[in-house]
A and B are shown apart, each in its own frame.
Chain A
Amino acid sequence: MSQESQVTQLPKETITFNLNDRDITVPKGTTVMEAAHRNDVYIPHFCWHPGLSIAGVCRFCLVKVDNRPKLEIACNLQATPGMKVSTLLPEVKEAHKWALEFHLVNHPLDCPICDQAGECKLQDFYMEVGKYKSEMDRPKVLKPKALNVGSELVLDTERCILCDRCVRFEQEVTKTGALGIFNRGDRAIVGTYPDKKIEHNYQDNLVDICPVGAFTSRDFRFKQRVWFLKDKPAVCPGCSTGCHVNVYAKPEVRTYFRVKPRESAVNSHWMCDTGRKTYKHLNQDQRLRFPVATDTTGKRKRVSTAEAVASLVAQLRSVAVQDVALLVSPQYTCEEYAAFFDFFVKKLGVTKVFQWREPTEKLEEFDGLLYRGDHNPNTFGLSEALAKVGLPKDVKNGFDDLARSGAKLVVALAPEIGFQFPSLESQFQRLSELPFVSVWTTSAAAYNVQAFKHLLPLKGFAEKRGSFLNYQGKVGELAHPFPAAVDDAHDVVEVVTAVADVWAHAL
């Protein structure tokens, strides 16, 4: 993030240089690597990372500058007016081949059992510039493997190519400095200082920036080959920062595997480990799989969505509108709130609307990097939606007010990210004591509360379209949904539309 602010502070003055016979204009002071990165010219590299300082150690990004005797590294080469740079000359290609050969001298080549396989820079470059016959025929240097360096991480120093990215991340981003490179020459190994462990909430970023399989994620290790995964862009629902992410899943088996950050102005290149766990509740085994309603004897049973909607409409008709209350968690999209309030508040005239928030939350908390104390992705959007229908927009947990309101029928949009709501179970219990509650939720937890007589399964954040407004009111878009892991799941817009439809026809 510091890098981005540096970029914006650069003087407006620009220069034009030539890269692979193409004229490129960049702000003065830009390196050839940055210029290439911004203009979609790929220069192979390991140690350079747009979010970190320049190390200049992998010696992979060598380019040829006209009229200069030696090849130079693009990452530390300032573009100057008229400079002519090539990445395509045979001598550059040959240098890349050898750069890779050197990287592989002591690399164990254990791709068949390595989690990084499929998204490994060594593999990518091997296909692109590799020497197809290695000249190395001597025994390799052996180094420590499977090291426990942090709660989320496993480190294999033999796979490590000593690019120093992780060390710089620890120094520059989290400023925890737990990692260093010890010893010298080909005995050099990356590791934690004797009295330190990697303990922060950003550990998995080390897995992301590690260009090889040295750091692997404890959560994802050995779970799935990455080439079987599909990824779609989304926004993290874990807190009000709203990091831009990619969600990885295997839709054919309705299983989600991981969440990784996607570069954006909101989160630069990073995200926290808490946010990375927001895929778990999407999996089928965590989900409410079907709508539930009661039969005439009052017994709970599985019903179709249409039956569930009809039963809710019937209940709504049986009570006065002032006895209806809405309980809304700030974890739904702006579009869902709009549809929900449009029907219940504007059309039906419900006035008792309460926010469903975690009572122990500390809104003002912030870790200084990304993770905020408001563990909801759309507090801002909910406030706006409330204001739009003329209701108080204050951020306030309304759970106790609801209990005192004497409502006879409650429609509740339950929190989606259960692990961010330590009080969820007790809140479910209290809620179930009310006369009639229709719980709209993704989670199987509500089903386990026997007293709930009416349940509607919802889609998770990765399965719907819509938008969150983060703590600054910046829009985060959910535009590329996965098919829902549960057949009967719908988003709130779909459910409300169905309810409104039945309501209108029944009139």
Chain B
Amino acid sequence: MSEAKPKIILRTEGLPDQRSIKTYVDKAEGYTAVRKVLGGLSREQVIEEVKQSGLRGRGGAGFLTGLKWSFVPKDMPGPKYLICNNDESEPGTFKDRYICAVNPHQVIEGMIIAAYAIGANKGYIYTRWEFQEEIGYLETAIKEAYEAGFLGKNLLGSGFDFELDHYSGAGAYICGEETGLISSLEGKKGQPKVKPPFPAVSGYLGRPTIVNNTETLANVPWIINHGPKAFRQWGTEKSPGTKVFSISGALNKPGVYEVPLGYPFESLLNDEGGGMQAGRSLKALIPGGASAPVLTPTECEGLTMDYEAMAQRGTMLGSGAVIIIDDRQSIAELLKVTIDFFAHESCGQCTPCREGTGWLNNIMDGILDRSAKPDNIERLRTVSRNMGGKTICALSDACAMPVMAFVQKFSDELHAYLAAGSGSHRQ
């Protein structure tokens, strides 16, 4: 076993001038993977390397990156596109933002390689509108990369062109869904498109398009430089590599940490996170952003931070947004803000999501002001159950899953809250 806490993504973290191209090139093997790829690897070889590495999408779904790339039709003439999904909006998640602040060039290098692999000559980074500072960092990095000859025409004399632009929507969670993002990039209302066709065949402007998460793309240069085998020395069989987690809550050291997948939750909480704040205890854990079903402290025992362990406990690793709920939090109020978020962000296309998220939110209003009937608590689950798996995108499920878990695991607390009459500090 090599070093316990390797850095694949946040390699320039803490170095002077951490996000400059100079630091990246001098200290973090910057743009060497691009040289390797353009120096003689075929597209198929690049895809194969990434397939072998077992790299899974870091945006939330954990889909195999190499496999996704291989869906792009090889012989189709005309333009293809690569999009970096930097629309990080899952409540609790702030790792892509940090990656952009620390090591934006690695994302750009990953994009060049990915574009080469899928045959795209044009790429976009789509950043959440609220990340104004990071948008600045990215634009600077893109400019630097152009000046250094890593972007533009005939890269390093290879004959491969790659133009990269930055774009930002108006700030909508749904634009993080890949087809919603594409709609937004096309200048339309940001709402997901019916599938099929899938973006790999018909995406941006009806052309083959690959959308990858920021962190996913940042993994690519390292894999090219060191090979799939080295990548697989960290993580588990099915979740190889490292993961950048954003940890929040009543901790001593909340923040962004890169650890190998399969890392024990307890270590993440106590070592990286510095343990619970004095006088606070763990009441619940949301392991992968607001859409991940909540875990009780008992369920957190022996928990490791990887896709399989999370699935086993009926939840998901998601985007790696670890939200620590301490004993002072009210589950009813937490549930309300969670549902309120999804009801606010539902694009409103599909009926079960549009009406379902609204209905759940409506019920939560009734629970908070104690006007709801007690059977409405169970109704949260019935409604959620019938919202799931029936819509164009996963937002409906993203709302339904945590609600079902909250109600199942904290039913007593919700009933007690409703029965308690007034007393919410929200009022």
Residues of A within 8 A of B (CB): 54-60, 62, 70-71, 73, 76, 78, 95, 98-99, 101-103, 105-106, 135-139, 141, 161-162, 164, 180-181, 183-188
Contact = CB atoms under 8 A, between A and B. Distances in A.
Given A59-B390, A95-B390, A135-B382, 10 more contacts: A71-B390, A135-B383, A137-B376, A138-B362, A183-B348, A184-B346, A184-B347, A185-B343, A186-B348, A186-B357
A106 B194 contact: no
Nearest to B174: A184
A53 to B, nearest CB: 10
Contacts of B376: 137-138
B372 interface: yes
Contacts of B225: none
A137 B195 CA distance: 34
A180 B189 CA distance: 10
A103 B196 CA distance: 24
Contacts of B196: 76, 78
Nearest to A164: B349
A106 B355 contact: yes
Contacts of A56: 194, 392
Nearest to A76: B194
B346 A141 contact: no
Main secondary structure, interface of B, reads helix
Contacts of A185: 343-348, 354, 357-358
Contacts of A105: 355-356, 358-359
Contact of A57 (B350, B363, B365, B379): B350
A186 B355 contact: yes
User: Across chains A and B, which 10 residue pairs bring their CB atoms closest together, nearest first?
Assistant: A186-B358, A188-B348, A56-B194, A185-B346, A98-B386, A105-B355, A102-B355, A138-B362, A57-B349, A184-B348
Main secondary structure, interface of A, reads loop
Interface in B157-201: 172, 174, 189, 194-196
B351 A181 contact: no
B339 to A, nearest CB: 11
Interface residues of B, number: 38
Given A59-B350, A59-B352, A162-B351, A141 B358 contact: yes
Contacts of B202: none
Given A136-B359, A184-B345, A71 B389 contact: yes
30 contacts: A55-B194, A57-B349, A57-B350, A59-B350, A59-B351, A59-B352, A59-B390, A59-B391, A62-B390, A71-B389, A71-B390, A76-B195, A95-B386, A102-B351, A102-B359, A105-B359, A106-B358, A135-B379, A137-B373, A137-B376, A138-B359, A162-B349, A162-B351, A183-B348, A184-B172, A184-B344, A185-B354, A186-B343, A188-B348, A188-B354
Given A54-B194, A137-B373, A103 B348 contact: no
B152 interface: no
B403 to A, nearest CB: 15
Contacts of B359: 102, 105, 136, 138, 186
B366 interface: yes
A102 B194 contact: no
Nearest to B389: A70
Contact of A103 (B355, B363, B386, B389): B355
A162 B365 CA distance: 24
A438 B121 CA distance: 79
Nearest to B351: A102
Nearest to B190: A184
B368 to A, nearest CB: 13
A290 B362 CA distance: 65
Most buried by A among B196, B349, B350, B386: B349
Interface in B358-399: 358-359, 362-363, 365-366, 372-373, 376, 379, 382-383, 386-387, 389-392
Interface of B: 172, 174, 189, 194-196, 343-352, 354-359, 362-363, 365-366, 372-373, 376, 379, 382-383, 386-387, 389-392
B352 A181 contact: no
Contact of B392 (A57, A70, A78): A57
Contact of A102 (B356, B379, B389): B356
Contacts of B383: 135
Nearest to B172: A184
Contacts of B373: 137
Contacts of B346: 184-186
A186 B386 CA distance: 17
B194 A162 contact: no
Nearest to B197: A76
Contacts of B387: 102
B194 A99 contact: no
B389 to A, nearest CB: 5
Nearest to B358: A186
A301 to B, nearest CB: 66
Contacts of A136: 359
Contacts of B358: 105-106, 141, 185-186
A99 B352 contact: yes
Contact of B351 (A103, A180, A183): A103
Nearest to B359: A105
Contacts of A141: 358
A183 B379 CA distance: 27
Most buried by B among A62, A98, A102: A102
A184 B390 CA distance: 18
Nearest to B342: A185
A429 to B, nearest CB: 57
A162 B390 contact: no
Contacts of B379: 135
Nearest to B347: A184
A113 B386 CA distance: 31
Contacts of A184: 172, 174, 344-348
A139 B370 CA distance: 14
Nearest to A135: B379
B92 to A, nearest CB: 21
Nearest to A105: B355
B363 to A, nearest CB: 6
Contacts of B345: 184-185
B162 to A, nearest CB: 34
Contacts of B392: 56-57
A188 B354 CA distance: 8
Most buried by A among B351, B354, B382, B392: B351
B289 to A, nearest CB: 19
A307 B344 CA distance: 77
A188 B365 CA distance: 20
A71 B389 CA distance: 8
B14 to A, nearest CB: 40
A55 B365 CA distance: 32
B105 to A, nearest CB: 35
A99 B389 contact: no
A315 to B, nearest CB: 69
Most buried by B among A54, A57, A60, A162: A57
Nearest to A75: B194
Most buried by A among B194, B195, B376, B390: B390
A54 B350 CA distance: 13
B348 A181 contact: yes
Contacts of B355: 102-103, 105-106, 186
A136 B363 CA distance: 9
A65 to B, nearest CB: 13
Contact of B348 (A59, A101, A137, A187): A187
Contacts of B390: 59, 62, 70-71, 95, 99
